[in-house]
Structure 1
Amino acid sequence: MTATLLFGSFLGLLVVGVPIGIALAVASLIVIYSLPFLNPDFLFQGLVYGLNSFPLLAVILFTLAGNIMSRGGIANRLIRVAELFLGRVTGGLGIVAIVACMVVASISGTGSATVAAIGLAMIPAMVQKGYDRAFSGAIVASAGGIGVIIPPSVVMIVYAITAQVSVTDMFLAGILPGIIIGVALMVYTYIQSRRHGYQGSDTKFSKAEALQILQQGILPLLMPFIILGGIYSGLFTPTESAAVGVVYGLVLGVFVYREIKPQDLYGIILQSALLVGAVLVIVGASTAFGRILTIERVPTDIANWVLGVTDSKVLILLAILMLLLVVGTFMETLAAIVILTPLLLPIVTSLGMSPVHFGVVMIVNLAIGFVTPPLGANLFMASQVGQVEIEKLSRAVIGFIFAMIIALLIITFVPWFSLVIPELRTG
């Protein structure tokens, strides 16, 4: 009864347009008033407890670092380096866009920031070379989802906090799956480019130009190595690495490339604060939501019910994948993680699945929701920056969705890709 009231009120509030964070808090409050042994202080304690987490500071700082990077000329220089090596092959500009998204993802930590940073430069360039505008937008929208898989990832930090696993282990676990997703998208882009005659760039770089591009790209390319190398070497924590990324990005944007003026900093910080504010409301409100589920033993009951229906690991995992694909279509990723992780984690761990591996599977699965209507945050961002109708973009992205699903199945049923690097670190 309590679970029905909790989820029913939550879904009802979403239907009438209440923001997700507020809907979580109000639904929790409705249930609190219905239970005689709880009082409103339970909600406020959950809000404070949920936000009182040192790793959450990394969410704020990585968001700021991503905005600084997109405004400071770092993304454009990374694109030039990728174009130097890959731009002349069939579908080269599309492949360059995917590689650039993967590199930018290792700095920004979010999908929408990656789409904005790369889309503004690459979509017009592809259209100019004869690529279909919707296809160009679909490339960037799909590859932008890698921003939440390849570390550092804001979404991975939230999952690590929710599942109580190591942020560093989650970052390490996302490296190979992120590459698998990128390769799958590149293969599909190449096939479609050959089919439609999308040629690579005909720009020939002289040795002097190539050397200049590499020189200009060295400092931006060092950024992910500094951030990730510092984490994995133990030199600093993920949160400290986010601060290092902010400082490094500011130095490049303000003093080296001079594309960020001092007066621009207020707007960059304000935009980052608005983005992070919505995230923190969701995380804080979901803590009370999750604690109510735990008190009512909802995760345990669901796990027992699922395991009572079938003991086939393959069937259970396929059912979970289908559930997450549907949920990712309609629900914001962070909200889905903080709500569903307590429900699904007991099921998969009872099957012997590592929480770290499941976290990667869950995030990759939900990342597909970035390019599926009606939510499709990356679709709307690509539509805006690429000036393409959302209907055309939705049709063009279907093939990329299938490519990502194939990669998802590989990642799900071959745990080695997610666990090999974390295991190397621990032993």
Structure 2
Amino acid sequence: MTFLSFLPILLLFVLFVLRVPIAMALLIATAVYFGAINTFMPQETMIQTMVASMESFPYLAIPFFTCAGVVFNYAGITSRLMGLAEMLFGHMRGGMAQVNVALSAMMGGLSGSANADAAMQTKMIVPEMEKLGYNRAFSTVVTAASACITPIIPPGIILILYALVADVSVAKMFMAGLLPGIMLCVLLMITVALVSRKKGYAPSRATRASFREIMRHMGKSIWALLLPFGIIMGLRFGAFTPTEAGAVAVVYAVFVGAVVYRELKWHHTWRILEESVLATAGVMFIICAANAFASYLTWESIPATFSNFLIGSVDNPIVLLLIVNLLLLLVGFFFEGGSAIILMTPLLLPVATQLGIDPVHFGIVMAVNLTIAGFTPPVGTMMFITISIAKVKMEDYVRHAMPFFVALIIALLLLTLLPGISLWLPDLFL
């Protein structure tokens, strides 16, 4: 293995520093390898790899679940979930910030995307928080931090990607994400309460909602709340495959919006299709590019070399997981979560399994880790989405982000050291 073997990796990081989009940076680095370094391989190998990587039936789950999330936004589900969250948590200190966190947990079963959740809630909740006297930068940070919950609660797109790359059960990954997602929600709500006490942020409701009020809003939102559990139970009892679950979610979303709430209209169809296609195309283009780059890594035996190095250096699974956490946080500063999962799983999973780490537990640790990286500077995707929409300076964002970063790292360490948090439900039901 020579210096030229690592040249595409060095080129990739140079392109990241120059702010070249992730997919294009991956393709340029891969093209340099197959076009100039590896002269034994036909130059069309890169294109063939990209096309072949998409010829996989399970990948259809991504556009289906993406479309379902878009439909729910037009179906009136989001506003009803926000009303339910305010009924349940608006009386707490920092009430609207608590609603922000709780809504992300509820939206986890619908959108499955941290970036989509961050964009939607920045537009919807940050202006309301500012009207109630919350600092705009604080409101933006709460929105970005709470978006870390969304992809961990099923059906998160990042869980689907890991399951496909690692060849593990999608149903197990979905089940494994429930308790970690709830734990993230609880820790972030505790952080909001502590910061709100210090800053003097008041509840958004003067009194706790009555049981009748809660039940009334629960009835309005029950259709949305049933979706993630329906998907998991359907997978558990073999009613449908993960890909078919995505199609079921779309049909269910259309039914709720058009028949139950009657807010989904024919004139919404074009906008739903446009948003779904654009969101899916972005994700799939990154996946194609990442798979092409992975073919270069495999050809040069870089994953095997890296695995052998780690195995020779580390023989304790806990130490390995801590090292992986540090590595993934650094990787996540530059890579979007989905592409990082595709690139890093072949490198790290063989080492983890050889040391006896459960692949499902390892997948949850990777997913949470890379999602946290999206919250943090210098190039966290949720950070950039929220500050660009809310028009907040990065230095103001960073100043308010530290307590939430600490809470997220505590959650990550608990998941790392206590695998039962991830594995209890899959072991119980599957």
TM-score normalised by the chain length of structure 1: 0.93
Match of 1:14 in 2: 16
1:150 paired residue among 145, 150, 153: 153
Match of 2:345, as an amino acid?
A: T
- Check whether the contact 2:74–2:268 (CA below 8 A) recurs between aligned residues: no
Residue number among 187, 198, 203 corresponding to 2:201 in the alignment = 198
Letter in 2 for 1:61: F
Aligned-residue offset at 1:175: 1.1
Write the deviation string for residues 320-360 of structure 1: whole angstroms up to 9, x where unpaired. Answer: 21111111112211221111111111222222111211111
Q: Distance in 1 between matches of 2:101 and 2:325?
A: 25
Residues 409 and 83 (structure 1 numbering): CA distance in 2 closer, same or farther, change over 3 Å?
same
Number of aligned residue pairs: 426
Alignment equivalent of 1:103, drawn from 103, 106, 129: 106
Superposed CA deviations along residues 124-145 of structure 1, whole A, max 9, x for unmatched, are 3333333222222211211111
Q: CA deviation at 1:187?
A: 1.1
1:270-309: per-residue Cα shift (whole Å, max 9, x none)?
Answer: 1221121121122122223223322322112112222333
User: 2:84 aligns to what SS in structure 1?
Assistant: helix
Partner of 2:30: 28
Specify the alignment match of 1:389 in structure 2.
393
Within-5 A mapping of 1:215-294: 215-294=219-298
How far off its partner does 1:159 sit? 1.3
Measured after TM superposition, the shift of residue 209 of structure 1 is 5.2
* CA distance in structure 2 between the partners assigned to 1:210 and 1:316 by the alignment: 45
What secondary structure sits across from 2:125 in the alignment? helix
Q: Return the alpha-carbon distance in structure 2 between the equivalents of residues 417 and 43 of structure 1.
A: 40
Indicate the residue corresponding to 1:399 in structure 2. 403
Q: 1:41 to 1:425 in 2, by over 3 A?
A: farther
The aligned runs of 1:11-90 (5 Å cut-off) are 11-33=13-35, 34-90=37-93
Q: What percent identity do the matched residue pairs reach? A: 39
Q: Superposition RMSD on alpha carbons, in Å? A: 2.2
Q: 1:333–1:366: 8 Å Cα contact kept in structure 2?
A: yes
Equivalent AA in structure 2 for residue 370 of structure 1: G
Q: How far off its partner does 1:60 sit?
A: 0.7
What residue number does 1:353 align with? 357
CA distance in 2, matches of 1:139, 1:167: 29
TM-aligned CA deviation for residue 233 of structure 1: 2.9
Q: CA deviation at 1:188?
A: 0.7
Q: Which amino acid in 2 is paired with 1:353?
A: I
Shift of the alpha carbon at 1:250? 2.0
- Higher deviation after alignment, 319-328 or 212-221: 212-221
Residue 147 of structure 1 aligns to a residue whose secondary structure is: coil
* Alpha-carbon contact 2:171-2:232 (below 8 Å) kept: no
Distance 1:93 1:158 in 2: 33
How far is 1:206 from its partner? 6.9
Say whether the 8 Å CA contact 2:152–2:159 is kept in structure 1: yes
Q: Which residue is equivalent to 2:413?
A: 409
The secondary structure found in structure 1 opposite 2:150 is helix
CA displacement at 1:212 relative to structure 2: 4.0
The 10-residue stretch of structure 1 (216-225 or 394-403) with the greater mean CA deviation from structure 2: 216-225
**1:237 CA drift (Å):** 1.7
**Partner residue in 2 for 1:123:** 126
Superposition pairs for residues 300-379 of structure 1, below 5 Å? 300-379=304-383
CA distance in 2, matches of 1:372, 1:139: 12
**Residue by residue, what CA displacement relative to the aligned partner does 1:80-115 show, whole Å, maximum 9, x if unpaired?**
112112211222322222111111011111012222
1:255 positional shift: 4.1
**Would the aligned equivalents of 2:166 and 2:345 in 1 still touch at CA under 8 Å?**
yes
Q: Among residues 167, 170, 192, which one is paired with 2:170 in the alignment?
A: 167
2 CA distance for matches of 1:307 and 1:211?
Answer: 54
1:139 to 122, 139, 142: 142
Q: Could you tell me how far apart the structure 1 residues matched to 2:311 and 2:227 are?
A: 45
Query: Within 1, Cα distance between the matches of 2:216 and 2:179?
Result: 31
Give the letter aligned to residue 417 of structure 2.
F
On the 8 A contact 2:104/2:117 being kept in 1, the answer is yes
Give the superposition deviation at 1:266: 1.0
The answer to whether the Cα contact below 8 Å between 2:175 and 2:232 also exists between their aligned partners in 1 is no
- Superimposed CA distance per residue, residues 201-255 of structure 1 (whole angstroms, 9 cap, x where no aligned partner): 2355677755543332222223333333322332112221211221222233344
In the alignment, the residues of structure 2 paired with residue 349 and residue 286 of structure 1 have an alpha-carbon distance, to the nearest angstrom, of 23
Q: CA deviation at 1:183?
A: 1.2
Q: Is the 8 A contact 1:332 1:375 kept in 2?
A: no
Assess, with a 3 A threshold, how the Cα gap between structure 1 residues 346 and 142 changes in structure 2: closer, same or farther. Answer: same
Instruction: Give the counterpart letter for 1:116 in structure 2.
Output: A
